[in-house]
Amino acid sequence: MRRLVRLGLCMMLMLSFATVFGQEKESVRVAFWNMENFFDAFVDSTRAYNEFTPEGGQHYTKNRFYKKRNNLYKAILAMSENHPIGIFGVCEVENDYVLRSLFEQTPLKRHNYRWVLYEGPDKRGIDPAIIYSCDWFQLVESAVFPYYNPEDTAYHSRDILYAKFIAKETKVPEPVEGPAQYADTIHVFVNHWPSRYSGELETVGSRACSAAILRSKVDSINAASPEGYEPKVIMMGDLNDCPTDPSVYDVLKARRRSEYEDGLLINLFAESKGLGFDGTIKHQADWMIFDQMIVTPVLMKGGEGLHYKENSARIFHAPFMLEEDPTYHGLKLIRTYIGPRYFGGFSDHLPVYIDLER
């Protein structure tokens, strides 16, 4: 009888330890997506570019806008696995109206999102934005950093969007005032670097300028931090360059994890192996990773507070966003437009994401 009691107690202890040590850590998703020309269908009298209107060259009607919006929210719900995305960088959005329509007038409204958006200098009127979950993060401040090329001051490109967040400490059972409510400070930069439209070699210097601006801002955050404190910085965006191109590899100094040394940043999308897909954008037969997420090394360390969840970097590629490519074989993206031709799809880019845990 005593032996049975001891055996029962041992089993109870083993179950107790399994419960304690088997508990999953709390995690939150951080994502980026180039939404490809997410315009409303209204004429903007303040801009010369109004192609995405019923009378414009794209013949972009309200029905086409709603089709685009609905495609986007379905993909976002699938990518988020129906949980709130903590921080979601996007680009190629026209204005506050399209964000309100997407995040307040679809099933995404249940996730309590807010956003940061500034009207920028892009001649088409498309800008980067940062959407965030109020259940996970509190916005502290935001800013934009204008593109500037001293060798071509007449050329204007998209601003780099910045936001600083504090992560709400959800382990506190009841809302409280003061610092006990928060666990982390996260600095976020969302980028949409100059395109290759005029040719890759002809525009390489423009992207190097964007990379230099971003690197200087990250260095400034590091320099302003207290001694011994490593700031957590997440850089994301459509860089219009691959991870091994000079703008990313040499100017920004973002490298794969295995190449890390002091002074470098870690590019979590530096190689396609482990990302679940070959690239985020397709040019003819080649997939390339233009959309990347880069972090400061401290986010790769465990311990207290939010940090990178190992092997969580992914290119999101739901089957309903892709179709057979009869010309170049394999798969291709189902786009909204190709030139003036309307296809009613999603985007010319796939989203990317990582998970943070604590």
Question: Is 165's pLDDT higher than 70?
Answer: yes
Domain coordinates of the chain in residue numbers?
26-357
Q: Mean of the pLDDT values across residues 324-328?
A: 97
Contact 336, 3 (CB under 8 A): no
Question: Is 170's pLDDT higher than 70?
Answer: no
Strands annotated E in 169-264: 182-192, 232-238, 254-255
In sequence order, which residues have a C-beta less than 8 Å from that of residue 241 and are 6 or more positions away? 193, 207, 247, 248, 290
Question: Is 12's pLDDT higher than 80?
Answer: no
The model's pLDDT over 198-222, given as tens digits with 9 standing for 90+, comes to 889 889 999 999 999 999 999 999 9
Which range is least confidently modeled, 21-25, 243-247, 329-333, 345-349?
A: 21-25
Question: Is 179's pLDDT higher than 80?
Answer: no
Which range is least confidently modeled, 4-8, 88-92, 289-293, 330-334?
A: 4-8
Question: Is 182's pLDDT higher than 90?
Answer: no
The model's pLDDT over 114-143, given as tens digits with 9 standing for 90+, comes to 999 999 999 999 999 999 999 999 999 999
Residue 3: pLDDT band with limits 50, 70, 90: low
Measured CA to CA, the distance from residue 49 to residue 156 in angstroms comes to: 15
Number of neighbouring beta carbons within 10 Å of residue 127: 23
Q: Mean of the pLDDT values across residues 91-104?
A: 98
Instruction: With residue 68 as reference, give the H or E element that holds it.
Output: helix 62-80
Give me the pLDDT at residue 302, please: 83
Give me the pLDDT at residue 203, please: 93
- Residue owning tokens 């088409």: 124
In words, the CATH class of domain 26-357 is alpha beta
Q: Which residue has the higher pLDDT, 4 or 238?
A: 238
Give me the pLDDT at residue 32, please: 99
Q: Mean of the pLDDT values across residues 166-178?
A: 60
- Proportion of the chain above pLDDT 90, given as a percent: 83
Give me the pLDDT at residue 14, please: 47
For the full predicted model, state whether its pTM sits above 0.85.
yes
Give me the pLDDT at residue 183, please: 53
